Structure 1
Amino acid sequence: MLVGCATPNRTTRVDDSSAVVIYSDEVGYEDRFSNLYNDFRDYPVTCTDDCYPASADIKCESDMQNCQFVGNNPQVNLRAGFTVTWLGHASFILNTTGGEQILIDPVFGQFDWPVNWAFRLAEGFSRNEPAEVGEAKLAQTDAIVYSHIHYDHFNKADIAELGTTPAYLVPLGFAEHFPDRGFTINEMAWYTSKKIGKTSIHFVPAHHFSNRIWVPYLYEDDNATLWGGWVFEHEGKTLFFAGDTGYSPHFKDIKDRFGDIDVCLLPIASYFSETSPKWYRKVHTTPEDAIVAAEDLGCKVVVPWGYGNASWMMGDKTSHSALFRLMKMKQQLNTSVPWVILNEGGKVSF
């Protein structure tokens, strides 16, 4: 339990010769972070016709809304030592055969107050409540990682619940968003690493952005914290969580560093469509972008995320439109990479 009085946090900047950080070249914002490939726009594939055909593998209450995947997933025998539980949106529980439990971008409710209150008035910014994990399960957590500071990936109410026992691994500039309660926080640059038990956790690039100001078009904190994904390495096997990201050559860079990735957790939602802002695709992969990224990464299996009955539909047509588009584009692109589709709360071992 957290106490009411302030207790200084233990914050360490994980920094060594392998660290990579790119700063903005915009005048007056030279202290802000930037993407590795900030001007990238050359997307290999774009669905243009009949992008959301019906699928017998997905059963819905209405048109692509409130759905369950009912199809058969491919058999994958990797013996990688990872068990993945998808809590919904971008939140996962990762368990290893070494006994570590790591939470990835855990968000158990809505956006932080007062944003949750304001966004109840805006369609698409409140979600159905996800299922509760349970105190006993959460108590087993050794470490918690966050990909970036956006409200749908980091909620201050959750760290109050998760407490000070786990180690927190976060991007650079992130620690100031924690209250002084005695948290152990590791701020990390791209390509730095931290060992948790038998698992090495590497922070890697994504193609995204960050801010925490909830009033639109105020830029005081734009890109003041870094963003990225995570590679978990356990007994020679790897699992990659991409975080929010657009498609760019950074996926190939990650493969160059770590080799073919055994398990990839890739986002497929909140991309540019007729219902979303045009800049969304720069910072969120379409389903076809994710398929190409899986090839770039050498993924041996992919678990997609971002869609779902308890996800925020920011830019998406419906709760499951991204999954329908993925099913179509997997067939069109004839990918050889197996994709394992989960419903929220689903668990799979590799």
Structure 2
Amino acid sequence: MLLSACHTPNQIEVIAGEDTITPLHQDGERKGRFHNLYPGKKTYPTTCEADCYPTSPKLQCEQDSENCQYIAEQETPKLNTGYTVRWLGHAGFMIRTPNGQKMLFDPVKEQFDSPVDLAFRLASGFYRQPGDWLTQSELENLDAVMYSHIHYDHFNKADIEELGNKPRYLTPLGMADNFPTGGFNISEMAWYAKTNISDLAIHALPAHHFSSRVMVPFIYEDNDKDLWNGWLLEQNGKTLFFAGDTGYSKHFKDIQQKYGDIDICLMPIASYYSEESPNWYRYVHTTPEDALNAANDLNCKVMIPWGFGNSTWKMGDRTSHSALLRLLHMVDEMNSQTPLYILNEGESISL
């Protein structure tokens, strides 16, 4: 039965058309490749310049901001949205919607697909500590899996085989050909496209990022042939936004203008710095202060940060929890009015 499923063609639909955006280069050497809505040199409303990583009694760590747990007491925002959010680690979330649908964002169980996984370990010496994962019962009762883009820390083919072909898969444009064969039901969606699962509306939204798939460590191919998305869930008038990997740009204000204030915002705060390419990393990844400004643009009623943590890849980060330390610092420095709720891997919050 399993062998037969492996040879079953995938079912692929493309959801685009009127009132959606397909951001393709129309000419030049990048013709047919995707691009961001607001390319070009960036200026940022806020930048931490010094003493950005003070220690915090809210974190209990094994050593200097490594292998930490957030231990401070937190007040649960009284939003009454009906959403339950569980952080699997890095960018992975399991969401239970107000009416009971079970959804995943960017689930990645291990580090990389084989054989790249082994090659990367040999080349870099780094191995990611896995985060939380789903029980067998949860695996068998998923309604949908949503991917933001094809980078390995957000999309792993081996995990798709474990998740199975029962749930519906929602992806950015161009991404379906990265899936294994096995009768998977895949919907590729343009920016601002909408689809439904029962009475749950799912909107594919812009992000400010890029796409590539590494075949050998540090050698990238297929640059920008697949799109990158954020996602918005909407049910009973309540909204949950997953930003995907993204830099700060005007697209956040665009989203708020189109959909109104957002109830729950799952925002990335890490992978924004590299000594070799400091400007590039921030261009495509929000710093903690960028994430706070984006949450303000969206008028988020609560922001849950991700990208840091004990199961992160630490790409462009000093330590596992340096980004969280910077976030806690900048909340005070900026006098941010957006309520925060901090999860450790495996923890859930009903909002």
Correspondence for 1:305 = 306
Residue pairs, 1:152-231, within 5 angstroms: 152-215=153-216, 220-231=221-232
Query: Residues 277, 115 of structure 1: CA spacing in aligned structure 2 closer, same or farther, 3 A cutoff?
Result: farther
Give the Cα–Cα distance (whole angstroms) in 1 for the partners of residues 330 and 275 of structure 2.
18
Correspondence for 1:252 = 253
Q: Give yes or no for contact 1:246–1:281 (8 Å, CA) kept in 2.
A: yes
What letter matches 1:239 in structure 2? L
Residue pairs, 1:62-77, within 5 angstroms: 62-77=63-78
Shift of 1:8: 1.2
Query: Residues 326, 276 of structure 1: CA spacing in aligned structure 2 closer, same or farther, 3 A cutoff?
Result: farther
Q: Give yes or no for contact 1:275–1:315 (8 Å, CA) kept in 2.
A: no
Give the Cα–Cα distance (whole angstroms) in 2 for the partners of residues 302 and 275 of structure 1.
30
What letter matches 1:293 in structure 2? A
Q: Give yes or no for contact 1:287–1:325 (8 Å, CA) kept in 2.
A: yes
Shift of 1:118: 1.3
What letter matches 1:209 in structure 2? F
Unmatched 5+ residue regions in structure 1?
A: none
Deviations 1:249-278 (A, max 9, x none): 000001011100000000000002547643
Correspondence for 1:36 = 37
Give the Cα–Cα distance (whole angstroms) in 2 for the partners of residues 220 and 255 of structure 1.
34
Shift of 1:15: 1.6
Correspondence for 1:349 = 350
Query: Are 2:268 and 1:263 equivalent residues in the alignment?
Result: no
Unmatched 5+ residue regions in structure 2?
A: none
Query: Residues 124, 234 of structure 1: CA spacing in aligned structure 2 closer, same or farther, 3 A cutoff?
Result: farther
What letter matches 2:44 in structure 1? Y
Query: Residues 26, 123 of structure 1: CA spacing in aligned structure 2 closer, same or farther, 3 A cutoff?
Result: farther
Q: How many residues align?
A: 350
Correspondence for 2:3 = 3
Correspondence for 2:108 = 107
For 1:98, what is the secondary structure of its paired residue? Answer: coil
What letter matches 1:265 in structure 2? L
Shift of 1:219: 5.9
Give the Cα–Cα distance (whole angstroms) in 2 for the partners of residues 275 and 140 of structure 1.
44
Query: Residues 170, 233 of structure 1: CA spacing in aligned structure 2 closer, same or farther, 3 A cutoff?
Result: same
Give the Cα–Cα distance (whole angstroms) in 2 for the partners of residues 224 and 97 of structure 1.
35
For 1:120, what is the secondary structure of its paired residue? Answer: helix
Correspondence for 1:89 = 90
For 1:173, what is the secondary structure of its paired residue? Answer: coil
Which segment is superposed worse, 103-112 or 269-278? Answer: 269-278
Shift of 1:110: 1.0
Query: Residues 32, 88 of structure 1: CA spacing in aligned structure 2 closer, same or farther, 3 A cutoff?
Result: same
For 2:208, what is the secondary structure of its paired residue? Answer: coil
For 2:134, what is the secondary structure of its paired residue? Answer: coil
Query: Are 2:274 and 1:278 equivalent residues in the alignment?
Result: no
Give the Cα–Cα distance (whole angstroms) in 2 for the partners of residues 30 and 275 of structure 1.
28
For 1:121, what is the secondary structure of its paired residue? Answer: helix
Shift of 1:53: 0.4
What letter matches 1:191 in structure 2? Y
Shift of 1:59: 0.8
Correspondence for 2:23 = 22
Query: Residues 219, 53 of structure 1: CA spacing in aligned structure 2 closer, same or farther, 3 A cutoff?
Result: closer
Give the Cα–Cα distance (whole angstroms) in 1 for the partners of residues 272 and 75 of structure 2.
26
Give the Cα–Cα distance (whole angstroms) in 1 for the partners of residues 258 and 288 of structure 2.
24
Identity of paired residues, percent? Answer: 54
Deviations 1:204-228 (A, max 9, x none): 0000000113336756410000001
Give the Cα–Cα distance (whole angstroms) in 2 for the partners of residues 140 and 181 of structure 1.
18
What letter matches 1:319 in structure 2? S
Give the Cα–Cα distance (whole angstroms) in 1 for the partners of residues 165 and 295 of structure 2.
35
Q: Structure 2 length as normaliser, TM-score?
A: 0.96
Deviations 1:145-171 (A, max 9, x none): 000000000000011001111000001
Give the Cα–Cα distance (whole angstroms) in 2 for the partners of residues 15 and 71 of structure 1.
44
Give the Cα–Cα distance (whole angstroms) in 2 for the partners of residues 112 and 73 of structure 1.
37
Residue pairs, 1:124-163, within 5 angstroms: 125-163=126-164
Query: Residues 216, 123 of structure 1: CA spacing in aligned structure 2 closer, same or farther, 3 A cutoff?
Result: closer
Shift of 1:87: 0.4
Query: Residues 2, 297 of structure 1: CA spacing in aligned structure 2 closer, same or farther, 3 A cutoff?
Result: farther
Q: Give yes or no for contact 1:164–1:183 (8 Å, CA) kept in 2.
A: yes
